[in-house]
Structure 1
Amino acid sequence: MNAFPGYRPLRGNEMVLTSDTATYRITGDVVIQGVLRDGRGYVQLTLPGISPEQLADLTSSQVFLAELYADGTRIYTTPGLVVVDPEGKDVTGQVVVAALA
């Protein structure tokens, strides 16, 4: 599945992020969820343990993809995304908001 993820959180234990320069594997309680901001739809990613270098790479990428896995099974793949807001944090990790590329 690679359409807009909807507003119900999709949870997994691994996310693979592929930018135009690198691929990163993030483990932990990872979440993809559709959110509305100012009437526009975005994709929100909760990424525990992402390093500042990985976040900087995603932020500077032309486009990136995210694949969500639960116990080794891929359950969701995003369309191409660009980072809109890399600065959010919550108790579970870094929150990145992205728009369709």
Structure 2
Amino acid sequence: MDLNYEMMYIVKTAEQEISKQVNAKLEKVITDNGGRIKDVDYWGERKLAYEIHGFGRGVYVLLVFKGSQTVIKELDRVAKLTDEILRHMIIRKGY
């Protein structure tokens, strides 16, 4: 059963192109595992509340999608292995 999810992630500050490449990688993981992208919202570069791995700023991206538990597990695994992502969180929307 496919449910609605949101993934917020923070990419290391660099060129805008890096965050787009990371987003393309994550979107491919979702679609390859049977999920569907609903919306992508680039919040832009913002100051972090505290430094993460020496970075004081990061590019925030909100990814809204629909998928199964398989999509979530693979997306979480790929996000943990992607060096450009400082932090990420996946939450289920609604019931």
TM-score between both structures, scaled by the size of structure 1: 0.38
Q: Rg larger in 1 or in 2?
A: 2
Q: Which has the higher strand share?
A: 1
